[in-house]
Amino acid sequence: MKIMSIFGTRPEIIRLSRIFALLDKNFEHIMVNTSQNYTRELNSVFFDDLSIRKPDYDLKVNTEAYGIEVADVIVKTEKLLKKENPDILLILGDTNSGLSAIPAAHQGIKIAHLEAGMRSYDLRMPEEKNRVMIDHLSTVLLPYTHYSRENLIRENIHPSKIFVVGNPIIEVIEHYMPKIEKSKIFQKLKIKKNEYFLVTAHRSENVDNVKSLKNIFSGLEKIHKKFGKKIIYPIHPRTTSKMKNIEIPKGVQLIDPLGFFDFTYLEKNAFCLLTDSGTVPEETLYFKKPCVTIRESTERPEIIEAGSNILSGLEPENILRATESITSGKPDWQWKEALGDGKTARKVINILHGKLY
């Protein structure tokens, strides 16, 4: 059986890394990188770090503008799907690369969607529109949690198509932990454990709006004044392009994007994290680190329910208050209910074998 995996961003590459190896062993596996994240720091570096083989195809989609990018994904994946004619297309998540589901469905190719069922109910987010569309085109849906499964059932997707598999990040972190622990990023940044905040912010609804981006930096300024700790901010190229009229507050250190090992080491040892990412709160729950999500909505309410994450919104005072609150208690959070048992890769392979043959 021939399976094609299509991906194009940092989170997809990382979360699929252990699944790729099993796909290669169990199927005729065609690996396709759209290069939606086109810089080395957000794409190819993770193939090197995680010892992932070279993709069979690199589509180099045009990311000049939203419409151009979406059109290029659909046109290029349509041609490739016709050429390779896979039995199954495997997609993870909600990026524009996942819109390859549209030509796949048109051609009658079965689609398996990992990370299915997440909902923020916030249509300002491009990802929300993508994930709904991909779910409703998919043949088999592979949500991380029962919470996401319930979302799918409420949308009239039949339960027989849905299999809860847990979050693949657990086995990725555990597999690479020896290399993570060898990181030298502390020496490079001249910092110590629990003596810094770690920040990521790159979502279009946050950084494309000057007021929102200024609010985030104002919140970081308040946090530095309150806690007196350095704030480390590996800055995404999207955010860098929006920084023209933004003043960097004292205590905030902007650095280039990091590889998986260095970034994960910083996550594991931070005092607290602030992020607009969906994936970072998952990782911080595993490490039992407090995390503030600087967004108005989240598709991962299970992380909030676990207790390690607060949704702050974008008002600077609320960002500070959320940070004070989440760092005030004992980090006794449990991750298994929200993240699974760390056996996701094998479950995915078994389902693809049994359900889609």
Q: Are residues 8 and 100 in the same domain?
A: yes
Angle between helices 169-180 and 260-269 (to 10 degrees): 90
What is the span of the domain harbouring residue 110? 2-166+341-356
Does 44 have pLDDT greater than 80? no
Give the pTM.
Answer: 0.92
Rounded-to-integer distance, Cα 354 and Cα 348, Å: 10
Same domain for 222 and 122: no
From 60, 55, 53, select the one nearest 38 (Cα to Cα).
60
Q: Is residue 172 part of a domain?
A: no
Domain presence at residue 214: yes
User: What is the reported pLDDT for 244?
Assistant: 83
Indicate the Cα dihedral angle 28, 30, 97, 244, nearest 10°.
Answer: 140
State what percent of residues in the chain have pLDDT above 70: 97
pLDDT tens profile 122-152: 998 889 999 999 999 999 999 999 999 999 9
Q: Is residue 222 part of a domain?
A: yes
- Clarify whether residues 101 and 203 are in a common domain: no
C-alpha to C-alpha distance for 50 and 21, rounded to whole angstroms: 11
Query: Based on the domain organization, do 153 and 196 belong to the same domain?
Result: no
Q: Would residue 197 count as lying in a domain?
A: yes
Which CATH number fits the domain that encloses residue 24? 3.40.50.2000
- Confirm whether 124 is domain-assigned: yes
- As a whole number of angstroms, the distance between CA 81 and CA 85 comes to 5
3-state secondary structure of 113: strand
Vertex 115: Cα angle to 111 and 118 (nearest 5):
115
pLDDT of amino acid 52:
93
Q: Are 334 and 349 within one domain? A: no
pLDDT value of residue 43: 52
102 and 201 co-located in one domain: no
Model confidence at 206, pLDDT cuts 50, 70, 90, reads confident
Same domain, 137 and 187: no
Q: What is the distance between the alpha carbons of residues 344 and 19, in angstroms, rounded to a whole number?
A: 8
Q: In this structure, are 188 and 157 located in the same domain?
A: no
pLDDT over threshold 70, residue 37: no
How does residue 41 score in pLDDT terms, banded at 50, 70 and 90? low
Q: Which two tokens stand for residue 106?
A: 């048109």
Within this chain, do residues 199 and 71 fall inside the same structural domain, yes or no? Answer: no
Q: Let me know whether 19 and 49 are in one domain.
A: yes
202 as an active site residue: the answer is yes
State the pLDDT confidence band at 357, using cuts at 50, 70 and 90.
low
> What 3-state class would DSSP assign to 138?
coil
For the segment 205-209, the average pLDDT, to the nearest whole number, is: 85
Question: Virtual CA dihedral for 119, 43, 207, 62, nearest 10 degrees?
Answer: -90
Q: Is residue 142 domain-resident?
A: yes
pLDDT 10s digits, 79-112: 999 999 999 999 999 999 999 999 999 999 999 9
How many domains, the chain? Answer: 2
Catalytic residue among 113, 136, 175, 202: 202
Residue 349, both tokens: 């392979």
- What number is the average pLDDT over the span 47-68? 92
Does 44 share its domain with 131?
yes
Q: Does 171 reside within a domain?
A: no
Q: Tell me which H or E stretch contains 351.
A: helix 344-356
> Which of 23-27, 111-115, 290-294, 327-331 bottoms out in mean pLDDT, i.e. has the lowest?
327-331
Confidence at residue 238, expressed as pLDDT on a 0 to 100 scale = 76
